[in-house]
């Protein structure tokens, strides 16, 4: 097989750019095929503090610092009524090694990352849409359509699928398994003039929780804020699948959201997307690795998607580099990658699963400092995907307290108004 590259990467989002950067900097020939032309809009704007060492290792931090993205030092969780709030400051977590993140407009952020991959030596082709792939004993072949419609094949020793929720290789092989309890919709837009907290907390991600849905507010520049509503598809359908109507109704039911949006003006249309959590049953096969959302996608409540994408991009680059050095199909290394990523994702899936239960929210909104349990939760929220034992046992304590709270209230119960989107 005549090889066009050592590694082909499908997709130039954060996962693909990260994998491309690490591989190219290690001296490997990388061909990255991206179907869109950048800059392009993308949802997912709140990052985690643990992204920072990755940016530095990739050498892209100076470009990101120069872009002047807002600083994020914490996250706030509010009840929609405005009656209860808690703020997690990353600097308060004694187990948290990195305490500051950035909030980004993804069009600019993704372009900086992709340009950095290109400058690091990867060949990046925009406007090329991959249609399918095949593996053989000698390598991998992908079929891609060029910007002028011609279809051609590219060959490489290894393939990294970073196609995001398009999930190209996972769908082609029927690997996608959707989480039964996390089938959501999201409706979102950018707004100017959204009210923010004073001082440093003005850069926080703000989560506003109602009975069956929740909002995010993410400051993406001095003036602009991303606002989104995550809800059940049934509630969306019950409002005639009218994004404007469902968004207005949810805002009208929340005194806190009304206050925040009182002087806000929407910039552009409201967008709607499905927000189904899923996992591919295999994250790797011989010669093929899946990274970021093409490995699995999780409800965005804790803003972990971009970090997971970059973390898996980095691990996949290491795994592919080691297979290339050894001159084999990577099977053993790739299985280890699969296990490690699955374990890390489980940490978040468990936390996300609990977020939708009332006892969890009751304790989450009233953190008590005994045994430093909140600090352990903060470390995971900051991006500690492979928590040490001292964090893990505290998390177990937290889940135990959630079970106790369900039957015997340790902190006051919260009451939501009747579901505001129910018809
Ligand atoms: C409603 C919502 C809110 C979110 N909020 C957050 C948040 O606040 N913080 C956070 O960290 N994450 C958030 N996420 C998750 C985040 O958007 C993703 O986890 C992240 O973008 C994953 O990066 P990726 O590189 O894997 O995929 P993507 O960023 O989706 O990149 C995939 C790329 O592959 C390209 N591609 C797709 N198919 C092909 C093809 N056939 N050929 C060539 N190229 C292709 C696409 O054009 C795209 O550029 C949110 C997600 C949703 C749905």
Ligand 1, residue 38: give the atom nearest the CA: 49
Hey, how many other C-beta atoms are within 10 angstroms of the C-beta on 320? 31
Q: How far is the CA of 307 from the centre of ligand 1 (A)?
A: 11
**Bigger pLDDT: 164 or 298?**
164
Percent of the chain with pLDDT over 90: 77
- Cα distance between the two ends of the chain: 60
**Bigger pLDDT: 93 or 24?**
24
How would residue 380 be classed by pLDDT, with cut points 50, 70 and 90? confident
| Short-list 260, 264, 256, 261, CA closest to 193 | 264
Q: How far is the CA of 13 from the centre of ligand 1 (A)?
A: 6
Cα–Cα distance, 343 to 19 (Å, whole number): 20
| Short-list 64, 72, 59, 76, CA closest to 25 | 59
Cα–Cα distance, 47 to 100 (Å, whole number): 9
How would residue 419 be classed by pLDDT, with cut points 50, 70 and 90? low
- Using a 10 angstrom Cβ sphere, with 0-12 exposed, 13-18 middle and 19 or more buried, the burial of residue 197 is middle
Q: How far is the CA of 310 from the centre of ligand 1 (A)?
A: 11
Q: How far is the CA of 297 from the centre of ligand 1 (A)?
A: 9
Cα–Cα distance, 220 to 306 (Å, whole number): 15
Cα–Cα distance, 224 to 42 (Å, whole number): 15
Q: How far is the CA of 165 from the centre of ligand 1 (A)?
A: 6
Nearest CA to ligand 1 atom 41: 130
Ligand 1, residue 218: give the atom nearest the CA: 8
pLDDT at position 193: 97
> In this predicted model, what pLDDT tens digit does every residue of 114-143 receive, in sequence order?
999 999 999 999 999 999 999 998 899 999
pLDDT at position 110: 98
Which CATH architecture describes the domain 5-43+63-69+104-175+281-347?
3-Layer(bba) Sandwich (3.50)
Are residues 124 and 11 in contact, defined by beta-carbon separation less than 8 angstroms? no
Nearest CA to ligand 1 atom 50: 44
> In this predicted model, what pLDDT tens digit does every residue of 6-39 receive, in sequence order?
999 999 999 999 999 999 999 999 999 999 999 9
Cα–Cα distance, 301 to 292 (Å, whole number): 16
For CATH 3.30.9.100, the residue range(s) in the chain are: 71-102+181-275+357-423
pLDDT at position 423: 53
Q: How far is CA 184 from the centre of its chain?
A: 15
Ligand 1, residue 294: give the atom nearest the CA: 26
Nearest CA to ligand 1 atom 26: 292
Pocket of ligand 1 (CB under 6 A): 10-16, 33-36, 42-47, 129-130, 162-166, 168, 186, 228, 273, 275, 292-294, 300, 303-307, 309
Q: How far is CA 362 from the centre of its chain?
A: 25
Q: How far is the CA of 149 from the centre of ligand 1 (A)?
A: 24
> In this predicted model, what pLDDT tens digit does every residue of 351-360 receive, in sequence order?
888 888 889 9
Are residues 251 and 244 in contact, defined by beta-carbon separation less than 8 angstroms? no
| Short-list 278, 412, 332, 337, CA closest to 160 | 337
- DSSP letter string, 319-367: HHHHHHHHTS--HHHHHHHHHHHHHHHHHHHHHHHHHTSHHHHHHHTS-
Nearest CA to ligand 1 atom 5: 44
Widest CA span of the chain, in angstroms? 67
> In this predicted model, what pLDDT tens digit does every residue of 217-237 receive, in sequence order?
999 999 999 999 999 999 999
Cα–Cα distance, 227 to 229 (Å, whole number): 7
Average pLDDT on 35-52 reads 96
Angle in degrees, 0-180, between the axes of helices 373-382 and 331-355, rounded to the nearest 10: 130
Are residues 199 and 192 in contact, defined by beta-carbon separation less than 8 angstroms? no
For CATH 3.50.50.60, the residue range(s) in the chain are: 5-43+63-69+104-175+281-347
Q: How far is the CA of 259 from the centre of ligand 1 (A)?
A: 31
pLDDT at position 266: 97
Region of 324 on the Ramachandran plot (φ > 0 left; ψ -120 to 50 alpha; else beta)? alpha
Backbone CA torsion sign across 322, 98, 395, 313: negative
Which of 309, 314, 352, 382 to probe ligand 1 with, by most ligand atoms within 8 A of CB?
309
Hey, how many other C-beta atoms are within 10 angstroms of the C-beta on 4? 17
Which of 9, 11, 55 to probe ligand 1 with, by most ligand atoms within 8 A of CB?
11
pLDDT at position 420: 64
Percent of the chain with pLDDT over 70: 99
Kind of pairing, strands 5-10 and 151-161?
parallel
| Cis peptide leading into residue 39 (ω within 30°) | yes
Q: Which residue has the tokens 């995907």?
A: 385
Q: Which fold has domain 71-102+181-275+357-423?
A: D-Amino Acid Oxidase; Chain A, domain 2 (3.30.9)
Q: At 361, list the tokens.
A: 């929210």
pTM: 0.96
Nearest CA to ligand 1 atom 9: 303
How would residue 422 be classed by pLDDT, with cut points 50, 70 and 90? low
Nearest CA to ligand 1 atom 15: 305
């Amino acid at each position: 097989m005549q090889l066009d590259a050592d590694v082909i990467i499908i997709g130039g989002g954060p996962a693909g750019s990260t994998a491309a950067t690490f591989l190219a900097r290690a001296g490997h020939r990388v061909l990255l095929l991206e179907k869109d032309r950048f800059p392009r809009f993308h949802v997912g704007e709140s990052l985690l503090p643990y992204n920072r060492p990755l940016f530095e290792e990739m050498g892209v931090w100076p470009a990101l610092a120069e872009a002047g993205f807002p600083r994020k030092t914490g996250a706030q969780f509010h009840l929609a009524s405005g009656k209860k709030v808690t703020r997690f400051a990353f600097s308060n977590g004694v187990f948290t090694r990195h305490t500051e993140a950035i909030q980004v407009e993804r069009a600019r952020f993704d372009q900086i990352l992709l340009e950095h991959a290109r400058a690091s030596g990867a060949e990046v082709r925009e406007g090329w849409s991959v249609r399918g792939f095949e593996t053989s004993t000698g390598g991998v072949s992908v079929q891609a359509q060029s910007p002028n419609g011609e279809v051609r094949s590219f060959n490489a020793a290894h393939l990294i699928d970073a196609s995001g929720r398009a999930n190209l290789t996972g769908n082609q092989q029927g690997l996608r398994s959707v989480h039964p309890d996390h089938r959501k919709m999201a409706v979102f837009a950018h707004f100017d003039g959204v009210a923010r907290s004073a001082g440093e907390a003005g850069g926080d991600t703000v989560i506003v929780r109602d009975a069956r849905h929740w909002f995010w507010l993410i400051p993406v520049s001095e003036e602009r804020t991303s606002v989104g509503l995550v809800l059940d598809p049934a509630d969306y359908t019950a409002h005639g699948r009218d994004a404007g109507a469902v968004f207005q109704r949810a805002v009208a039911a929340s005194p806190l959201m009304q206050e925040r949006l009182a002087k806000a003006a929407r910039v552009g249309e409201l967008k709607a997307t499905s927000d189904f959590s899923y996992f591919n049953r295999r994250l790797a096969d011989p010669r093929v690795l899946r990274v970021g959302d093409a490995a699995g996608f999780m409800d965005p409540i804790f803003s972990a998607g971009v970090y997971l994408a970059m973390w898996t991009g980095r691990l996949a680059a290491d795994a592919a580099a080691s297979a290339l050095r050894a001159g084999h199909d990577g099977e053993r290394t790739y299985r280890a990658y699969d296990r490690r990523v699955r374990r890390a994702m489980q940490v978040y899936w468990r936390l996300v699963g609990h977020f939708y239960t009332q006892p969890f929210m009751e304790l989450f909104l009233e953190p008590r400092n005994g045994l430093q349990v909140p600090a352990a939760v903060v470390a995971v929220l900051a991006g500690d995907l492979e928590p040490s034992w001292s964090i893990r046992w505290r998390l177990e304590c937290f889940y135990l307290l959630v079970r106790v709270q369900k039957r015997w209230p340790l902190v006051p119960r919260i009451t939501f108004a009747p579901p505001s989107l129910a018809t």
